[in-house]
Amino acid sequence: MNLNHQEASALLDELIKASDMFGTTEVIIAPPSIYLSEFSLKLGKQSVVKLAAQNVHQKSSGAYTGEISAGMLRSISVNYCLVGHSERRQFFGETNQLVAEKVQALLENGLSPIICVGEMLDERYAQRHFDVVRQQVESAIAAVELSMADRILIAYEPVWAIGTGQTATSEQAQEMHAFIRELLTATFGVKALEIPILYGGSCNAQNARELFSQVDVDGGLVGGASLKASDFTTIVASF
């Protein structure tokens, strides 16, 4: 929930101007929902920058005032949607079951869910971080058919490293990403290699290159650093 309309539009313009530097790297931006329709028209059918929503409702339609369905997102050419972001889990009570329902709603409508998982600080201190992430991942993908496996993305966001200035070391990130890859392999076999696993804990222009060098870190879920075009393009160039 950052940037007014003028600020957000100016940021998008800067990213479009810099897009010739992105090469073959897939870039996805997730603006607030009220900007999605306009940004979709502005981006058109170019293949460099894709759109993601920050949230979706699990039902296809109905009396859910203020909510947005996957079909609505599809109708304005949104390709991706965040699901189960730590802030949605922490502040809006989203459960693993609800996240799983949203994943299915998106897949049924041709969108790719970016499934966010990760542990709180007390859970890591209690050595429960692997159990927490296992439950989140397994629940989210339980009903995903093998034919749909290459449509999902996983984003690992250690909650203790979001907005705190702390970042998991590259070794900690790789350890959890490798663990997530094992979970995906247990369900999807070799297709798990096609599922991107993104790192989302205070990824910034200074640490992106080291994080992205890890074998199971396939990209970043960038937070505050994405609000400044120069920092964001530096992160993209680090991949």
Catalytic residue numbers? 85, 157
Q: Do the Cβ atoms of 2 and 216 come closer than 8 Å?
A: no
Report d(CA 149, CA 33) in Å as an integer: 26
DSSP 31-81: --HHHHHHHHHHHTT-SSEEEEES---SSSSSS-TT---HHHHHHTT--EE
Token representation of residue 66:
């203020």
Q: Do the Cβ atoms of 60 and 105 come closer than 8 Å?
A: yes
